[in-house]
């Protein structure tokens, strides 16, 4: 895609958003809004290549490289589907504001995918992050506001880490990705670690790695379904994409970082599931599932950092993973939104079938896109050594856990027929179905031939199926055993798990600090001293007046004249 194409893709949503601000253009813009991603979906198919735009920002470079080409169309497609669903989920009185945020976030998302250097990337990243705030708090409820606050705090923290890290990187190289990645080779280990740490944290917030994920389960459930869909499907991937862009994956072996990232990823994968299982809301469960899935993708980055020579494989797998998870999670969120409403029996059946398919695919079930993605990741592992031995079982475990979590999802979100009077419009369901189908199919098309081949074999199917079955059995066991069921129902984890405790602790600290400051302000010695000094002024004025009076006495004047005259003569003589 050439520069103009990329620009069109990025600017189109912005133009529509701007049109929404003008009263006269508003109706047309409303109709146009869902189609704003269309250029981004289509243009990459026709154009390729990079272009320098020297007048933009600090000298921009736009275009689609391997990553962009793989990610932009599916992402845009997700946005398109979500956008089409917006009128259904967002009331007309708030729709304009929502659409503006939606379109701006979309534009940011496209920009960060089409950017080929740090500053433009950062611009897209920031645009997307800040605009999504509007998506999170759209409902306007206290819960939405709380989630929004959490979200924005994390966003700001993330942005600051990112920009600091980027500055550190930019200070030693040009701002295009390749140069930045290459600069790690020459960087001092300390500096490298700092940059990597900052970027890990900064983008990790977006990607929702364990410990930084708290905002995610808070924000996704409160947002309207289309918003959750893009948040979870498209936007959190930006963190991962950023790592691919800035980490020296495939170029420099950083075994300790690789190990750390892998561990973090696997930890996140497990933690997400464990914290998600007790959740009661479908969208919260899905959010934790996203956390968990992002953990697996983090593992991929870890592999890339530890084994540069394996990177091409890993990257291909990761792209598949991103596309697959993005579209699938998008469809799940949308579906959960639809399922929340009264459904006709047919619709309920359709949704239920879709959910099951999606769950299987997400857990890496046989013949699923998820399996393709996961296999790709496994192929990326080094052929021998500890990694080779340790990681695959863990992946299996993660499949099992994922399956459990999705079972939990199916349990809480199972579409039920209620009344059956109002059914979601067929258009909505059709769109959803298309999205789901794309999610299921696209990985097959994107994945490397080897991986594809590996995924279709019966052994592979079997290997993929048993964790699912195990999970099913486990779930059934829990349901069947009343004790376990009771214990399970007692476990309550608030959405946002540890983050909520953290928040409360910080608030208490702030209150205490505030009280302390108040006390200082009231009894501070500086203020008292100032008051005491002020009280001296009238007294000093009286003294001054009296002295002046003394000086004006004639006796004094006469004496002083003599004194001055005599001393003048003395000093002269």
Partner 1 sequence: MSSASRPPGEPGLLLRAVLALLLLAAAAGVALALVAGQVAPGLSGAVAAALPDSGASNPVTAVLLNFRGYDTLLEMAVLTAAVVGVWSLGPAPRIRETEPSPVLLGMNSVLIPLAPLICAYLLWAGSSRPGGAFQAGAVLAAAGVLFIISGRRPAVHLPAAPMSWGIVAGLGVFLAVALAVMPGGRELLEYPRGLAGALILLVETAATVSIALILAGLFIGGRPEDEP
Partner 2 sequence: MSSALLYAGAGMGLLLVGVWALVLRAHLLRKVLAINVMGSGAFLLLVGAGAMGGGPVDPVPQAMVITGIVVSISATALALALVLRIAYATGKAALPEDRERDLMDREGR
Partner 3 sequence: MSTWLAALPWMVLAIAIPLLGALAAFVQPRRAQVIGLSFSFLTAGAAVGVVLDFITLGPQQHAVGGWGAPLGIDLVADGLSILMLGMSAVVGVAVSIYARAYFVPYPDKAPRFWPLWLFLWAALNALFQSADVFNLYVTLELMGLSAVALVALTGSGPALWGAMRYLLVSLLGSLAYLVGVALLYHAYGTVDLTLLAERADGGLQLAVPLGAMIAGLLLKTGLFPFHVWLPPAHGSARAPVSALLSGLVVKASFYLVLRLWFTFVPEGEGLPLLLGCLGAAAIFWGSIQALRQKRLKLLVAYSTVAQLGYLFIAFPLAGLEPQMAWSGSIYLALSHAFAKGAMFLAAGAIMTQGGHDEIDELDLVVDRMPLTLAAFALAGISLAGLPPSGGFVGKWLLLESAMAQGKGIWAAIIIVGGLLTATYVFRVLGFAFTRSEHHHERHEVPAAMEWTALLLALGAVLLGFVAPWALPLLDGVLP
506 binds, among partner 3, partner 2, partner 1, none (CB under 5 to 8 A by kind): none
By CB under 8 A, residue 545 contacts partner 1: no
Q: What is the token pair recorded at 161? A: 């880490």
Question: Minimum Å distance from CB 558 to partner 2?
Answer: 4
Choosing from 280, 530, 541, 546, the residue that interacts with partner 3 (CB under 8 A) is 541
568 binds, among partner 3, partner 1, partner 2, none (CB under 5 to 8 A by kind): partner 3
Q: Is 394 left (phi over 0), alpha (psi -120 to 50) or beta?
A: alpha
Alpha carbons 213 and 203: distance in angstroms, whole number: 11
Question: Minimum Å distance from CB 550 to partner 2?
Answer: 7
CB 179 within 8 A of CB 173: yes
Question: Minimum Å distance from CB 540 to partner 1?
Answer: 23
Question: Minimum Å distance from CB 555 to partner 1?
Answer: 5
Q: Is 159 left (phi over 0), alpha (psi -120 to 50) or beta?
A: alpha
By CB under 8 A, residue 552 contacts partner 1: no
By CB under 8 A, residue 548 contacts partner 3: yes
Question: Minimum Å distance from CB 543 to partner 2?
Answer: 13
By CB under 8 A, residue 93 contacts partner 3: no
By CB under 8 A, residue 453 contacts partner 1: no
Q: Which of these ranges, 20-28, 119-127, 214-222, 545-553, lies near partner 3 under the rule CB under 8 A?
A: 545-553
Alpha carbons 290 and 233: distance in angstroms, whole number: 9
Distances in Å between the Cα of 15 and the Cα atoms of 21, 110, 560 are 10, 14, 87
Helix residue ranges, H only, 137-214? 142-170, 177-186, 189-207
Choosing from 427, 509, 545, 546, the residue that interacts with partner 3 (CB under 8 A) is 545
In terms of CB distance, is 529 or 567 closer to partner 1? 567
By CB under 8 A, residue 552 contacts partner 3: yes
Q: What are phi and psi of 175, to 5 degrees?
A: -90, 0
CB 299 within 8 A of CB 214: no
Question: Minimum Å distance from CB 536 to partner 3?
Answer: 13
Alpha carbons 321 and 300: distance in angstroms, whole number: 10
Q: Which residues bind partner 2 (CB under 8 A)?
A: 545-546, 548-550, 552-555, 558-559, 562
546 binds, among partner 3, partner 2, partner 1, none (CB under 5 to 8 A by kind): partner 2
CB 370 within 8 A of CB 435: no
Alpha carbons 225 and 482: distance in angstroms, whole number: 34
Residue 279: how many CA atoms within 13 Å on its side-chain side? Answer: 30
By CB under 8 A, residue 536 contacts partner 3: no
Alpha carbons 536 and 177: distance in angstroms, whole number: 67
By CB under 8 A, residue 566 contacts partner 1: yes
Q: Which of these ranges, 229-237, 291-299, 414-422, 558-566, lies near partner 1 under the rule CB under 8 A?
A: 558-566
Binding residues for partner 3, rule: CB under 8 A, are 541, 544-545, 548, 551-552, 554, 556-558, 560-561, 564-573
């Amino acid at each position: 895609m050439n520069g103009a194409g990329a620009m069109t893709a990025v600017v189109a949503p912005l133009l529509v958003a701007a049109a929404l601000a003008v009263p006269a253009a508003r109706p047309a813009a409303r109709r146009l809004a869902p189609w704003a991603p269309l250029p981004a979906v289509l243009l990459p198919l026709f154009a390729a290549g990079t272009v320098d735009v020297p007048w933009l920002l600090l000298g921009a470079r736009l275009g689609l490289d391997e990553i962009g080409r793989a990610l932009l169309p599916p992402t845009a497609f997700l946005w398109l589907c979500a956008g089409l669903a917006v009128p259904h989920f967002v009331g007309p009185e708030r729709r304009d504001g929502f659409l503006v945020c939606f379109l701006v976030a979309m534009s940011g998302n496209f920009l960060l995918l089409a950017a080929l250097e740090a500053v433009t990337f950062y611009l897209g990243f920031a645009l997307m992050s800040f605009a999504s705030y509007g998506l999170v708090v759209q409902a306007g409820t206290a819960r939405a506001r709380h989630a929004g606050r959490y979200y924005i705090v994390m966003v700001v923290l993330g942005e600051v880490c990112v920009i600091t890290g980027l500055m550190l990187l930019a200070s030693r190289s040009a701002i295009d990705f390749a140069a930045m990645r290459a600069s790690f080779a020459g960087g001092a280990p300390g500096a490298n670690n700092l940059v990597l740490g900052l970027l890990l944290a900064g983008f990790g917030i977006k990607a929702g790695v364990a410990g930084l994920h708290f905002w995610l389960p808070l924000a996704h459930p409160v947002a309207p379904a289309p918003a959750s869909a893009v948040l979870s499907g498209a936007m959190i991937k930006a963190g991962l994409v950023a790592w691919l862009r800035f980490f020296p994956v495939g170029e420099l072996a950083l075994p300790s970082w690789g190990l750390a990232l892998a561990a973090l990823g696997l930890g996140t994968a497990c933690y997400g599931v464990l914290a998600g299982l007790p959740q009661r809301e479908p969208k919260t469960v899905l959010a934790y599932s996203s956390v968990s899935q992002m953990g697996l993708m983090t593992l991929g980055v870890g592999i890339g950092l530890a084994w540069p020579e394996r990177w091409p494989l890993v990257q291909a797998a990761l792209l598949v993973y991103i596309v697959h998870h993005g579209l699938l999670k998008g469809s799940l969120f949308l579906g959960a939104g639809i399922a929340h409403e009264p459904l006709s029996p047919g619709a309920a059946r359709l949704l239920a079938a879709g959910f099951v398919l999606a769950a299987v695919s997400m857990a890496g079930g046989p013949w699923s896109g998820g399996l393709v993605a996961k296999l790709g990741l496994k192929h990326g592992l080094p052929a021998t050594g500890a990694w080779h031995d340790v990681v695959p079982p863990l992946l299996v475990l993660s499949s099992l856990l994922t399956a459990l979590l999705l079972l939990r999802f199916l349990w809480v979100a199972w579409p039920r027929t209620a009344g059956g009077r109002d059914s979601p419009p067929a258009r909505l369901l059709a769109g959803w179905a298309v999205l789901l189908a794309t999610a299921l199919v696209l990985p097959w098309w994107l994945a490397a031939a080897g991986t594809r081949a590996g995924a279709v074999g019966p052994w592979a199917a079997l290997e993929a199926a048993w964790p699912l079955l195990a999970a099913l059995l486990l779930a059934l066991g829990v349901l069947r055993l009343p004790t376990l069921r009771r214990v399970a129902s007692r476990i309550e984890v608030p959405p946002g798990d540890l983050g909520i405790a953290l928040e409360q602790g910080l608030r208490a600290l702030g209150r205490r600090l505030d009280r302390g400051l108040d006390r200082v302000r009231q009894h501070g010695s500086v203020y008292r001293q100032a008051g005491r000094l002020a009280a001296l002024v009238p007294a000093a004025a009286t003294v001054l007046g009296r002295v002046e009076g003394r000086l004006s006495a004639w006796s004094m004047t006469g004496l002083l004249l003599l004194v001055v005259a005599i001393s003048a003569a003395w000093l002269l003589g």
